[in-house]
Structure 1
Amino acid sequence: MGNVAFGAGQIRRRPAVEERLTQPRRLIRQLSDVDSGRLRRLIRSGNLAPCFDAAEDAAGHAEDCPICFYFYPSLNRSKCCGKGICTECFLQLMPSKSSKVVHCPFCKTASYAVEYRGTRTKREKKLDRPEEENVNEAKKKIQSTSQIADELVQP
């Protein structure tokens, strides 16, 4: 019955989430199906990323959502393929009462679900580097191809 040191059997408490970060602010469509109380509990329990303020550039933010292209301190991760998505885009993808199954927007796996792990580790970022390099190379090829096409079209 004394003080117990933090050990493997105990659960770490996540830092408190500000109330404003538990409510979506940028939704494109009105989500009548979303239970705001349940959403607030999922965010506060750490099961869903907070509705962080979106930034248009990477200054001070670690990740960009591949759906809305805004930058955030951290994102939710697809359980199937590990790709990141912000909470507000995830809410947009969630099924309405009329639809049954939502597929992953990245790998098309049925029964799309996400989990929130917090900020990505250096190891996770390092694993994404080769993919980013491939994307950058593809962008350069497209740009050079379009420049060649422009030269051919001009009289």
Structure 2
Amino acid sequence: MGNSSSRHTASNQTTFELGSTIPNNIYPHSKQDYDNNILKQLILNRRLGPFYKGQVEPQMSPRGSVECPICFLYYPSDINYTRCCDQPICTECFLHIKPTPDTSQASCPYCVQDTFGIIYNSWHINKNTEIQHTTFGQSPTRKRRCAIEPASPSVVLVGHLRLPKRQFNTNEIRQRSYSDRDTVDLESWMVRQAVRQSMNEYRRSNRIKLEESPGVLV
């Protein structure tokens, strides 16, 4: 009875660690191609960051604040980080990275490495940290880690969340294959452009600050 009640409570839980198990819909026109049950379980098991409400400006908080370079919104610093190049990415943008139709995997939008995946370290588990400024905002001090293998138990790949192909009609897959490939290529290009723009704006802003500072040689 108790176990049944616990499972029922977990299945209906929508808030978790000051976030949510439900997307904030920042991509309202994006087609949902992921499994909601798997998504919720990954969040509740602390393998994927919850959906935090993104802010336009960084927030002062013990948890720190970090900008997702794809949607340009600020989140608590304990969001997801890419397994390959250790860059932040919010859960909603992670879901928006579409796998290619033939491999069910994707390339990293930052370093373009194959088999894109993330790791998530909950702030509730790693509270004893100091705040430092990073490229994308404030985040708890942590050593930059090396790339983690895609087969690691701590890594969540984009393919882990996708619906099995058998759930789609074969004819539908055949009809959509070319248009899907074009969509994936366009979305990947747009993501890369957004990341480049974010990086360039950050460098330009820092250079202007240095030039305006008295006594600083540039």
TM over 0.5: yes
**Cα displacement string for residues 45-93 of structure 1 (whole angstroms, at most 9, x for unaligned residues):** 0000000111111123511111111111121010111111000000000
Structure 1 length-normalised TM? 0.65
1:27, distance to aligned residue in structure 2 (A) = 4.0
| Structure 2 unaligned spans of 5+ | 1-12, 133-139, 145-199, 210-218
RMSD, matched Cα: 3.2
Counterpart in 1 of 2:168? none
Task: Tell me which of 54, 68, 84 is aligned to 1:80.
Answer: 84
For these two proteins, the number of residue pairs brought into alignment is 123
Deviates more, 1:23-32 or 1:82-91: 23-32
Counterpart in 2 of 1:25? 24
1:137, distance to aligned residue in structure 2 (A) = 5.0
User: For the Cα contact (< 8 Å) 2:49–2:79, is it kept in 1?
Assistant: yes
- Which gives a bigger RCO, structure 1 or 2 (Cα 8 Å, sep 6+)? 2
Identity %: 28
Structure 2 length-normalised TM? 0.48
5 Å-filtered alignment, 1:92-103, equals 92-95=96-99, 98=101, 100=103, 101-103=105-107
Counterpart in 2 of 1:8? none
Measured in 1, the distance between the counterparts of 2:95 and 2:113 equals 17
| Structure 1 unaligned spans of 5+ | 1-15, 129-133, 144-155
**Structure number, greater radius of gyration:** 1
Counterpart in 2 of 1:110? 114
Measured in 2, the distance between the counterparts of 1:139 and 1:63 equals 17
Structure with more of its chain in strand, by fraction: 2
1:140, distance to aligned residue in structure 2 (A) = 4.8
